[in-house]
Amino acid sequence: MIKKILNFITGYVLVAIHGDGVDRFINICMSKKLHIWSIKKDKNKTLLYVSRSDFYKFDSFVEKTGVEISVIKSCGIPFIYEKNKKRKCFVIGFFIFLFLVWKFTTFVWDINISGEAGYSAEEIEKNIKQNYVKIGTKITDVNCSDLEKILRDEYSDIAWISCEIKGTQLNIKLTETILPEDIEKQSKPCNIVASKDCIISDMIIKNGTGMFETGAEVKKGDIIITGVVNIYNEYDELIETNYVPASGIVYGQSKMSYEDEFELSHYVKNYTGKKKEYYGIIYNDNLFEPLKYDMSYNNCDIITNYNSVRIFDTFYLPVTYKKTIVSEYEPELATYSEEEAIKKAKNKLNEYISALKKKGVEILQNNVKIYVKNDKCISTGYLVVKEIVGIPFELSTFEQGD
């Protein structure tokens, strides 16, 4: 392999030799220690490879042995250079291109965030771009371990985070804590109060005194864990009252009403097949779009895609490619069948439930009824949910002094 690379760098020629003195010619080459290889007979001619420098020594042997030589192909960098000598601009442009590509590899052009759940990737990305790693920062200026530390401090719910630079992309992988949301630690004396009317289903007290038992019904604003801690002696006499920041996790069970309705008649988009495509390039927040949109369609969908220009998977360039497709459609009035309507309503309800689950709400019962009445699909009922209901509420001076 190394030999092949060296041969390519120095250049080599595949030649065909004809005539009676071929064997003599080869023996002379051998005795003169010329660099020839892969000697092979092909019909009436002999093929061999010779290095570029030794090829020019052939002339004297050709006369001696009376053979004819024809060049079949010439390979290697010196020959490529010879061929492209006249195309100076092309060669210079090619090297400038190589230089720019190499130069661009030394900057961060894209940030990719994965593994987020509670936080949005856009939110984290925006924060990083504004405060820590701007797009176009030199890769050598990015300290991944420092960035990990900063992000871990800033986003308290991050359990694990890893930052690495692949190509020109800053990859951030994170895992958020899956433990139930802890109540923010308070430094001042406070109570834990109910955020809504509910039945207490579970309670973990870390600090303070519990005012209700599990299963008790509480109203919004009721103190569940108090920060007023009374200390009694053995004769049940109050000897001291301490005011502490109450803390703990209180789960409450409550009913959450769900109402939704939509008309059975609706418009469907019938695409006519007519569409127009527009292209643009964004560099350094400047958009270059040669064509303006033609808005001659009465009804149309405009879909725009932005793609970062990249070479391979992770080598991003500071150029974004914009593609806009304007598709014409004719609106047509349609009506959902009862089955279709119920299916759609169920899907909407499932989406609503999924969103609640993402927030950490547990669904205990689903009592939502879906039916069709007066050309409308109606979903009505309630969900029995279990969620964190205890929130800190600062102790008033009256309570403290009382």
Partner 1 sequence: MTRVTLIDQKKVYIDGYKTVMSIDDNKIAIDCKNKILEINGSNLSILLFTGIEMTVTGMISSIEWK
Q: Which residues bind partner 1 (CB under 8 A)?
A: 22-23, 26-27, 30-31, 33, 36-42, 46
CB of 53 to partner 1, least distance (A): 17
Q: Which is nearer to partner 1, 33 or 138 (CB)?
A: 33
CB of 42 to partner 1, least distance (A): 7
| DSSP output for 143-168 | -HHHHHHHHHHH-TTEEEEEEEEETT
Q: Distances from the Cα of 249 to the Cαs of 107, 182, 244, 313, in angstroms? A: 46, 7, 16, 45
Helices 22-31 and 58-65: angle between axes, nearest 10 degrees: 140
Q: Which is nearer to partner 1, 22 or 218 (CB)?
A: 22
């969620």: which residue's tokens?
A: 387
Q: Which is nearer to partner 1, 37 or 371 (CB)?
A: 37
């939704």: which residue's tokens?
A: 260
Q: Which is nearer to partner 1, 24 or 269 (CB)?
A: 24
Sequence length of the chain is 402
Q: Which is nearer to partner 1, 23 or 340 (CB)?
A: 23
Q: Distances from the Cα of 387 to the Cαs of 210, 225, 391, in angstroms? A: 18, 17, 12
CB of 71 to partner 1, least distance (A): 19
| DSSP output for 299-330 | SEEEEEEEEEEEETTTEEEEEEEEEEEEEEEE
Q: Which is nearer to partner 1, 76 or 280 (CB)?
A: 76
β-pair type (376-388, 362-373): antiparallel
SS3 191: strand
β-pair type (300-311, 315-335): antiparallel
CB of 14 to partner 1, least distance (A): 13
CB of 51 to partner 1, least distance (A): 12
CB of 47 to partner 1, least distance (A): 8
